[in-house]
């Protein structure tokens, strides 16, 4: 396993948010930031990569001994194919995308009666694009972006049945589709090619619960268990730090219509999720981030970097443990 840096947990610091008042980073800047944190790779937003010479990005990443992944959104075949070719030029291992459909927070209520046709369109688009992925040797992955459930991700992977197609696992997002994280991880692990390491604190509400970003190791996700699982099942996976969005996600699982267009779930699955939430939920304190408190751009950027410092201090211990374990296995 190798560990890297996405751009989406530090959007104010990197000048990617419209309200940041900062110069937008370059692909080279992101690589330098990952190097400074002692990481081994980057996941570069497609629009950032598009403003660079991809060949120069590939050469610089190789010089710094960094892996490269690329992040985009959408599933229109021509856009995917164009991004795959650009990713290849940049020396990328994986192109990650998201399909949307559901609103952030796993809300499908507006998709009543149209979710199945939507998924069939997603499948068709990926089937078309994966032919290019196979030809040029770049992985195409879809993220569980608080939209697709584990059942749907497995259906896509099994139906497409390509070594170049798989999943970008966002570790915090199973909670947004009302799934126990550990169950989600185990079910999709063989298909994971890339992961976003994200942690959340849970705040209970009358309608369900809120997911609030926090540094890795400070929330509810069991990262040692995840790392052990991936080390056993899928040790070639790339993993990158990505703190959650600056807005809390409200998961309204206690509203009956939340379950509109969801796959059937057993009583056991639901009870495991609700027990997980109840054992960890907070019911006091201000759950709002500095962004939600309308703090200044500089204060928000400082908050992002402070979270990164805490996360990297936590993650570095686990990286070293796995390096030692790997060295022992080789010997």
pLDDT tens string 48-70? 999 999 999 999 999 999 999 99
Residue carrying structure tokens 């989600």: 184
Band the pLDDT of 330: cuts 50, 70, 90: very low
- Give me the pLDDT at residue 322, please: 63
Q: How far apart are CA 270 and CA 183, in angstroms?
A: 12
Q: How far apart are CA 30 and CA 56, in angstroms?
A: 14
- Give me the pLDDT at residue 328, please: 46
Q: What are phi and psi of 127, to 5 degrees?
A: -60, -35
Q: How far apart are CA 240 and CA 231, in angstroms?
A: 15
pLDDT tens string 248-300? 999 999 999 999 999 999 999 999 999 999 999 999 999 999 999 999 999 99
Q: Are 160 and 123 in contact (CB under 8 A)?
A: yes
pLDDT tens string 207-257? 999 999 999 999 999 999 999 999 999 999 999 999 989 999 999 999 999
- According to DSSP, the β-strands at 165-170 and 94-97 are unpaired
Burial classification of residue 324, based on how many CB atoms lie within 10 Å of its CB (0-12 exposed, 13-18 middle, 19 or more buried): exposed
Percentage of the residues of the chain whose pLDDT score is greater than 70: 97
Q: How does 59-80 read in b/e, with b if 16+ C-beta sit within 10 Å?
A: ebbeeeebbbbbbbeebebebb
> Which tops the pLDDT comparison, 326 or 147?
147
Distances (CA, A) of 174 to 97, 124, 169, 317: 17, 24, 9, 25
- Give me the pLDDT at residue 317, please: 85
Query: Which among 184, 160, 162, 161 is positioned nearest to 172, based on CA atoms?
Result: 184
Q: How far apart are CA 83 and CA 104, in angstroms?
A: 24
Give the mean pLDDT of 170-196: 98
Query: Which among 227, 225, 251 is positioned nearest to 237, based on CA atoms?
Result: 227
Q: Is the pLDDT of residue 39 over 80?
A: yes
Q: What are phi and psi of 55, to 5 degrees?
A: -65, -40
Query: Which among 107, 105, 115 is positioned nearest to 261, based on CA atoms?
Result: 115
Mean pLDDT taken over the chain: 95
pLDDT tens string 296-328? 999 999 999 999 999 999 999 887 776 545 444
- Give me the pLDDT at residue 122, please: 98
Q: How far apart are CA 168 and CA 141, in angstroms?
A: 6
- Give me the pLDDT at residue 212, please: 98
Give the relative orientation of helices 223-233 and 297-330 as an angle to the nearest 10 degrees: 40
Q: What are phi and psi of 98, to 5 degrees?
A: -130, 150
Query: Which among 81, 93, 21, 90 is positioned nearest to 50, based on CA atoms?
Result: 90
> Strands, DSSP E only, in the chain?
2-5, 41-45, 67-71, 94-97, 139-143, 165-170, 192-197, 199-204, 209-214, 238-241, 249-251
């Amino acid at each position: 396993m190798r560990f890297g840096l996405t751009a989406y947990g530090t959007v104010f610091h990197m000048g990617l948010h419209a309200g940041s008042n900062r110069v937008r980073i370059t692909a080279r800047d992101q690589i330098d930031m990952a190097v400074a944190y002692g990481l081994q790779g980057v996941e570069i937003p497609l629009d950032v990569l598009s403003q660079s010479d991809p060949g120069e990005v590939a050469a610089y990443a190789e010089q710094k001994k960094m892996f490269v992944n690329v992040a985009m959104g959408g599933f229109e075949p021509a856009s995917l194919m164009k991004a795959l070719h650009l990713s290849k030029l940049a020396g990328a291992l994986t192109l990650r995308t998201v399909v949307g459909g559901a609103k952030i927070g796993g809300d499908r209520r507006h998709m009543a009666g149209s979710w199945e046709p939507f998924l069939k369109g997603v499948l068709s688009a990926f089937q078309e694009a994966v032919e290019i992925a196979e030809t040029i040797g770049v992985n195409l992955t879809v993220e569980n972006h608080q939209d697709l459930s584990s059942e749907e991700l497995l259906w896509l992977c099994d139906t497409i049945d390509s070594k170049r197609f798989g999943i970008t696992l966002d570790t915090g997002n199973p909670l947004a589709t009302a799934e126990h994280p550990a169950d989600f991880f185990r079910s999709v692990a063989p298909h994971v090619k890339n992961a976003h390491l994200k942690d959340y604190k849970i705040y209970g509400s009358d309608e369900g619960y809120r997911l609030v970003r926090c540094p890795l190791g400070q929330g509810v996700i069991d990262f040692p268990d995840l790392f052990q699982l991936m080390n056993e099942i899928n040790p070639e996976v790339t993993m990158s730090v990505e703190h959650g969005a600056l807005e809390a996600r409200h998961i309204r699982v206690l509203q009956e219509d939340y379950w509109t267009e969801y796959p059937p779930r057993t009583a056991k699955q639901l009870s495991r999720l609700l027990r997980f939430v109840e054992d960890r939920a907070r019911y006091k304190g201000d759950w709002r981030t500095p962004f939600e408190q309308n703090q200044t751009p500089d204060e928000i950027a400082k908050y992002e970097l402070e979270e990164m410092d805490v996360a990297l201090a936590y993650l570095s211990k686990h990286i070293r443990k796995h390096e030692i374990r790997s060295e022992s296995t080789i010997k």
